Amino acid sequence: MEDVMTANNVIPKSQQPSLLRLLREDVSCVFQRDPAARSGFEVLTTYPGVHAILMQRIAHRLWKFGLRYLARLISWFARLLTNIDIHPGATIGRRFFIDHGAGVVIGETAEIGDDVTLYHGVTLGGTTWNKGKRHPTLGDGVVVGAGAKILGAITLGENVRVGANSVVVKDVPAHRTVIGIPGKIVLRTEEAGTDNIYGINLDHHLIPDPVGRAIACLMERIEVLEGQLRKQGEPVDGQCHTCEADDLCGTEVARKLRKE
């Protein structure tokens, strides 16, 4: 068997885990990331994300052996069964978890590291007709929120978190949170939350509001300037004539935004 390339390096065939070990890890890692999981039998029989990755690992081995049609046939059956479309050519690391799973699409040249988590509706897609590397590379520990699209031959570093419904089209350094359309880096990952007991941070809902922060800063600055004008004896009309409401654009709003 040829050497396997992961998102971070090339693993010699002598160090590659067996297919059975990979499948066991895929099942066991569900208990670390889904509090609804109750037993191994339940996970193995009722989780579409687990079914999809189990069949993809088998299809990927066949793809590497040159049995391309059989690999694509297994991939087609997996999509029919789970509504998850993973190309058999995609390289996927250990302990990969797809939560809920519906609508997930992973392209042929995508590379996914260890301990990666995807939620439903995620797309790892290409942006060119050219053959070769055209899909994303995800580092270890990446978490991608529901509905997010990661497009092109870009790289997301270790422990990157992507907010729900974001569209990422540029590289993202390790330990960052990215949100929006197009995706923009808003903070370092460790600022958003703490890891759980398994060492995997799934708090991808803790997303800052950069617009709210900017408005709060502007309101605070206006408050300071108005105070300086009053000290100089200049008349200051604090009423907002655009919205005709004292509180809507008043300093109380700025205080609330700063607290948030």
The encoded tokens of residue 257 equal 């935004």
Go through the chain and tell me how many residues it has.
260
- The pLDDT profile of the chain, 260 residues, written as one tens digit per residue, is 345 555 555 555 556 777 788 888 888 888 888 888 888 888 888 889 899 999 999 999 999 999 999 999 999 999 999 999 999 999 999 899 998 888 999 999 999 999 999 999 999 998 888 888 999 999 999 999 999 999 999 999 998 999 889 999 999 999 888 988 888 888 765 554 555 555 566 555 556 666 666 777 788 888 788 777 777 777 766 555 555 544 545 555 555 555 55
Is 5 in a helix, a strand, or coil?
A: strand
pTM > 0.75: no
What is the helix, strand, coil percentage profile of the chain, to 5?
35, 15, 50
C-alpha to C-alpha distance for 96 and 30, rounded to whole angstroms: 9
Domain borders along the chain are: 4-191, 210-259
- The CATH superfamily holding the domain 4-191 is Hexapeptide repeat proteins (2.160.10.10)
- How far is 54 from 88, CA to CA, in rounded Å? 11
Type and span of the H or E element at 226: helix 210-231
Category of 119 on φ-ψ map: left (φ > 0), alpha (ψ -120 to 50) or beta: beta
